[in-house]
Amino acid sequence: MNPTQPENYCIAGRLRLLSRVVTGLYNEAFADEGVTFAQAGLLMRIFAQPGIRQAALARTLQIEKSAMSRDVQLMQRNGWLTENVKNGLFLTENGTATAKRCHKIWKALHQNALDQLGPEAVAGLSLFSDKLLQFQIESNPFTTG
Partner DNA sequence: GTCATTGTGTTGCATATACAACTCTTGTCC
Partner DNA sequence: GGACAAGAGTTGTATATGCAACACAATGAC
Residues in the site for a second copy, rule: CB under 8 A?
1-5, 7, 9-23, 25-26, 37-38, 41, 61-63, 106, 109-110, 113-114, 116-133, 135-136
Query: What is the spatial distance between Cα 83 and Cα 137, in angstroms, rounded to a whole number?
Result: 34
Query: What is the spatial distance between Cα 42 and Cα 1, in angstroms, rounded to a whole number?
Result: 35
Contacts to DNA from residues 15-44, by CB under 7 A: 16, 20, 23-24, 27-28, 36-39
Instruction: Say whether residue 98 binds DNA (CB under 7 A).
Output: no
Q: How far is the CB of 93 from DNA (least distance, A)?
A: 21
| Region at 143 (left for phi over 0; alpha for psi -120 to 50; beta for the rest) | beta
| Region at 11 (left for phi over 0; alpha for psi -120 to 50; beta for the rest) | alpha
With CB under 7 A as the contact rule, the residue among 54, 95, 98, 106 that binds DNA is 54
